[in-house]
Chain A
Amino acid sequence: MNNNILKKYSPVKKAATMIFLVLVVLFGSAFVTGNDSTQNKEAAIEGTSVQPQNGEEVQAVANVTEPAQTVDESDAFDGVKQFLRYTGFANCTRGHLIMIVVGLIFIFLAIRFEYEPLLLIPIGVGIIIGNIPFMEGAGLRVGIYEQGSVLNYLYFGVTQGIYPPLIFLGIGAMTDFSSLISSPRLMLLGAAAQIGIFITFWSALMLGFAPPEAGAIGIIGGADGPTAIFMSSMLANGKNIMHTGAFAGKTVDNLIGPIAIAAYSYMALVPVIQPPVMKLLTTKKERQIKMKPPRAVSKREKMFFPIIGLILTCFIAPSALPLLGMLFFGNILKESGVTKRLANTASNALIDIVTIILGVTVGASTQATVFLTDKSIMIFVLGALSFIIATACGVLFAKVMNLFLKKDNKINPLIGAAGVSAVPDSARVAQIEGLKADPSNHLLMHAMAPNVSGVIGSAVAAGIMLSFLLNF
């Protein structure tokens, strides 16, 4: 069984994945230097009519509004011409093609390597749906940024931050916090990994992003897709007007699409990004440290956990209430033992429905005219940096903790990497790397503790960011 797990993450597959990523970046950069489809960006965001680029399109739009008066051969020919102008082929730009390729890569990664397929398949299909070219501003109401379209209605849940709390409800109803309750000291690893959020925030500021945008970008380092979407919908939604400093009077950019795509892409690539950092920062002897098995946790303790956690964390960071409140509410449903039906719905049907809608709409929000910008590429670079820093901070903090612990009670530093809250992928990576160092060393249960505390930590960090930056 272990061999199968190890085979799954073979270096060849990792290399193939990295090549695909490089190709994506190259395509993106090629597009940005070409920059042929960003002219209608602002109009597309607002869902208003778009200024046509050439005379033919002016004629096409005019034809839509003017009813046909007579039917003869020339009119029929014009009708065919008009139909052709409405096809995707006539409206296709290089940006659309690039994004469709990106969508196909997502689907490929999900099917071939099983990297977060539940997320990458909906997002990949969403990217393709969102980048089917059509005549914008012709009143078709099909684009995600066109008011009144079906996709626009579904996207409302993203822009208003409705879906992330519902996802958190499902996560809470699914998560067993036993490992965390049995080893509370491992919670600190979840806190250490959040340092990546704030270092990325500083980096984004220095790259020229406005503070609210930088705050939303920083959360990518929390490796938590719903939190990243929630933060970007609050801080980088293309609507808020800033009041302070050099940015006073300016409107924040709409970065929901790039941030969500970056967060979910890197979450899916946790098995590729984390192992080199973990190996670089640990010795083989450290990777072989065996930890004591966690103690049994009573049912009463499990019931106390979400109640205390809810009250305590929400008092510290009330801005994170939608996320933390729903997370702990879901866990109470699970642990109370008397609401099994509700817990089952939250952890199965509800989270599945929301995941489908969230994935497709986030994918569709990457419409080339809005998505392919220099800022998107910078967000992807910052996202990678954020993940690497978060992983490194978790591992290094575990090593620091070991300096103060007794010899028979040491922590395997590999589980520090699980402090980024990509549940349960980063814990699984810690388990795999532990098995590589010592085939009898199972770290999964230990790694789950910092993993779930990372979820709480990133939500608290998001709350702090919101309280500082929401009225910037």
Chain B
Amino acid sequence: MNILAITWDWSAFDGFALTIGIVGILVVFLALLFLSVIYRIIPKIMQLNIKHTTKKTQPQTPSTDINVDFMSGEVNAAISCALHLYFNDLHDYESNVLTVNTKEIRRQSPWSDKHQFLNQISK
């Protein structure tokens, strides 16, 4: 077989093939479009009830300057990191054990061992 000499049989591209392709593309789009529409609606329905109850119970507060809807990636990352550390107990823990060394530690070393000195240490 000569791979470079590929022959295209255009007669195979018939009505059946065209139907499968077009119906397939349309159904995939419709399925995901339908899901997308549902997911656009669901949060609104869920928040509708919450807003309704909060309006009844709380007086309207003046709007603040902080834009809650838009937060930069760095802020999101910092919050995520803090939550991750908190929920997974990854933050630093102190041992909470206080110890006081009462004895002075004297390390023996040839550099400071008076028994190995040739000369007397001047006093």
Contact = CB atoms under 8 A, between A and B. Distances in A.
Contacts of A461: 24, 28
Most chain A beta carbons < 10 A, residue from B9, B16, B71: B16
B46 A301 contact: yes
B121 interface: no
Given A208-B12, A316-B27, A317-B27, A188 B32 contact: yes
A53 to B, nearest CB: 21
A201 B25 contact: no
A202 B31 contact: no
A198 B43 contact: no
Nearest to A457: B28
A230 to B, nearest CB: 16
Contacts of A206: 8-10, 12-13
B37 interface: yes
Given A198-B25, A205-B13, A456 B32 contact: yes
Interface size bucket, A side? 35 or more
Contacts of A245: 16
A308 interface: yes
Contact of B3 (A301, A304, A305, A374): A374
A32 B5 CA distance: 14
A191 B33 contact: yes
Contacts of B32: 187-188, 190-191, 453, 456-457, 460
Contacts of B23: 464, 468
A194 B25 contact: yes
B26 to A, nearest CB: 9
Interface in B5-62: 6-10, 12-13, 16-17, 20-21, 23-25, 27-40, 42-43, 46
Interface of B: 1, 3, 6-10, 12-13, 16-17, 20-21, 23-25, 27-40, 42-43, 46, 69-73, 76
Contacts of B33: 187-188, 191
Interface in A179-224: 180-181, 184-185, 187-188, 190-192, 194-195, 197-199, 201-202, 205-208, 211, 215
Contacts of B38: 184, 308, 312
A33 interface: yes
21 contacts: A184-B35, A184-B36, A191-B31, A191-B32, A198-B20, A205-B13, A206-B8, A206-B9, A208-B9, A293-B72, A298-B43, A301-B39, A308-B35, A313-B35, A316-B30, A317-B31, A456-B32, A457-B28, A464-B20, A464-B24, A465-B24
Contacts of B35: 184, 187, 308-309, 312-313, 456
A301 B28 contact: no
Nearest to B4: A29
A312 B28 CA distance: 12
Contacts of B73: 293, 442
Contacts of A406: none
B17 A202 contact: yes
A304 B45 CA distance: 13
B28 A293 contact: no
A45 interface: no
A195 B25 contact: yes
Interface of A: 29, 32-33, 180-181, 184-185, 187-188, 190-192, 194-195, 197-199, 201-202, 205-208, 211, 215, 245, 292-293, 295, 298, 300-301, 304-305, 308-309, 312-313, 316-317, 374, 377-378, 442, 453, 456-457, 460-461, 464-465, 468-469
Most chain B beta carbons < 10 A, residue from A184, A208, A317: A184
A194 B1 CA distance: 31
Contacts of B28: 191, 194, 457, 460-461, 464
Given A202-B13, A208-B12, A374-B3, 5 more contacts: A185-B36, A187-B35, A312-B31, A313-B35, A374-B1
Nearest to B38: A308
A383 B33 CA distance: 27
Pairs A-B, 3 closest by C-beta atoms: A184-B36, A184-B39, A198-B21
A310 to B, nearest CB: 11
A205 B46 CA distance: 48
Contacts of A33: 1
B31 A460 contact: yes
A457 B30 CA distance: 10
B37 A201 contact: no
B91 to A, nearest CB: 22
A468 B25 CA distance: 13
Contact of B6 (A180, A201, A207): A207
Contacts of A185: 36, 40
B31 A316 contact: yes
A201 B21 contact: yes
Contacts of B40: 184-185
A197 B10 CA distance: 18
Contacts of A191: 28-29, 31-33
Contacts of A300: 46
A98 to B, nearest CB: 15
